[in-house]
Amino acid sequence: MIANLRRTIIFNNDSHRADKIFESYNTGRLTFPTAKKNNIFYIEVDGSMVHTRKKYDNDSSWRESKLGIVFTSDNIRTYRNKKGELCHKIGKREYIPYLGDVENFKKHLFAAAIRNGYGECAQTVIVSDGALWIKNMKDELFPDATQILDFYHLCEHLSDYAKIIFNRDENLYKPWVSNMAECFKNSQIDLAIKEIKLIGKKKYFDEMNILL
């Protein structure tokens, strides 16, 4: 019981601070330094549905659990493992977990971003799965940010696309997805996008010829 009370007090204090920072932002009282540090501010955001015991306004017991992570490039350490492979480790970061709606989550995320240096860095990057709610939040709160689709979800979307294009033939779509993923990994983005568009057009015209 004491532990639950302690968690409630901490959450209420965090919510109060987040509301104050968000209010300052909305009223134009939040200022940022004109001289920026030569580094990058990273925001990573994702969400997943979880089943709860309680039903909510929409008569559903499912809610989306959201998680944000904020850190700067100053805290990324590069090293080589025993196999000689290049690895990266984030030394300092802050997690923002929230079970509930976007309107409240974004306040906590924005407050954490301000605490960790958002607005003081030369660049801001948001890494996500490409969900619309994250894009809308980015446009509202972090308009200067560049949004990047993370590699895992990029491969997932490529696979979903390829299954349609190749009629779920694994012998065809799996090598194609692997090839496209390598192109993106090696920064051959224009080449990959061109191939994706071409194969999509071919699929369309092949289907049109069958119908005719």
* pLDDT at residue 58, rounded to an integer: 67
* pLDDT at residue 45, rounded to an integer: 96
Alpha-carbon span 61 to 204, nearest angstrom: 41
Domain match, 183 and 136 both: no
- 62-72 and 94-99 strand pairing: antiparallel
In the block, tokens 């030369």 appear at: 122
* pLDDT at residue 80, rounded to an integer: 92
Q: At 195, list the tokens.
A: 């191939």
Whether 33 contacts 119, CB under 8 Å: yes
Maximal CA-CA distance, the chain? 72
- 76-80 and 62-72 strand pairing: unpaired
Domain match, 182 and 107 both: no
Tens of pLDDT along the chain (212 residues) come to 677 778 888 888 889 999 999 899 888 888 888 888 999 999 999 998 888 777 766 677 787 899 999 999 999 999 999 899 889 999 999 999 998 889 999 999 999 999 999 999 999 999 999 899 999 999 999 999 999 999 999 999 999 999 999 999 999 999 999 999 999 999 999 999 999 999 988 876 676 665 54
Whether 93 contacts 129, CB under 8 Å: no
State which residues form the domain around 40: 32-149
Domain match, 48 and 121 both: yes
Domain match, 179 and 128 both: no
Determine, yes or no, domain membership for 117: yes
Among 149, 174, 202, give the residue marking a domain's end: 149
Domain match, 42 and 58 both: yes
Number of domains in the chain: 2
* pLDDT at residue 212, rounded to an integer: 47
Among 149, 171, 187, give the residue marking a domain's end: 149
Domain match, 182 and 134 both: no
Among 127, 149, 171, give the residue marking a domain's end: 149
